[in-house]
Chain A
């Protein structure tokens, strides 16, 4: 068990460019979450996958954002036409198998995005 990993750890891009982040959950975790954290704030929920199905999306996830989990393992989060307001830490979490409502989310180290 190597924990949740995220790549890249840092991304600097120019406004208007597209970026893609990857999250590898703890193996056999069937639930995967994306959150966004801006300076001075707690993480805010973006989207949730159970296996390959995207079951919930926050209103924060505008049309420029898309997330996938094609085989129910790793996930990608893409931001198109980045804006300076997209600058944030993007966190991925996965939760223990077995389901129920008491599973614990374990977080990756995050990808820090800076949009110039």
Chain B
């Protein structure tokens, strides 16, 4: 069975500090990896994805994520957090080689950035 774990339900950081939102996965093979962000009463917005190549992926709004194959992790990072980054963040995986394309999501991590 495919699974995605976001071990922290909540992450709290001060504005200007670096932030990390953790994600680990357990899937067949090497998946494609995604991060999405959700603001209240809104759909999911795509932030970034890892397909292949450089383990550090840069995305929207200054976010980046580091893929670690040996640890099966894909942690989301940002060097300097903003209050406006406060939202719900989801890690997702898609099976490589699958033509069907469904995403498997983690439960989400609520990020709060306080001034």
Interface segment among B11-19, B37-45, B62-70, B71-79: the answer is B37-45
B105 CB contacts on chain A under 8 angstroms: 42-44
Let me know if A43 and B103 touch, CB within 8 A.
yes
Interface set, chain A 71-93, CB cutoff 8 A to B = 91, 93
Which residues of A are interface residues toward B (Cβ below 8 A)? Answer: 4, 6, 31, 33, 35, 40-45, 48, 55-56, 58, 91, 93, 95, 99, 101-110, 112
Secondary structure at the B interface, as helix, strand, loop or mixed, is loop
Let me know if A45 and B102 touch, CB within 8 A.
yes
Q: What is the CB-to-nearest-CB distance from A96 to chain B, in angstroms, rounded to a whole number?
A: 11
Selected contact of B107 from candidates A41, A104, A108, A110, CB within 8 Å: A41
Q: What is the CB-to-nearest-CB distance from B11 to chain A, in angstroms, rounded to a whole number?
A: 16
Let me know if B101 and A103 touch, CB within 8 A.
yes
Which residues of B are interface residues toward A (Cβ below 8 A)? Answer: 4, 32, 34, 36, 41-46, 49, 51, 90, 92, 94-108
Q: What is the CB-to-nearest-CB distance from A25 to chain B, in angstroms, rounded to a whole number?
A: 13
B103 CB contacts on chain A under 8 angstroms: 33, 35, 43, 45, 105
Let me know if A102 and B42 touch, CB within 8 A.
no
Cβ-closest chain B residue relative to A31: B101
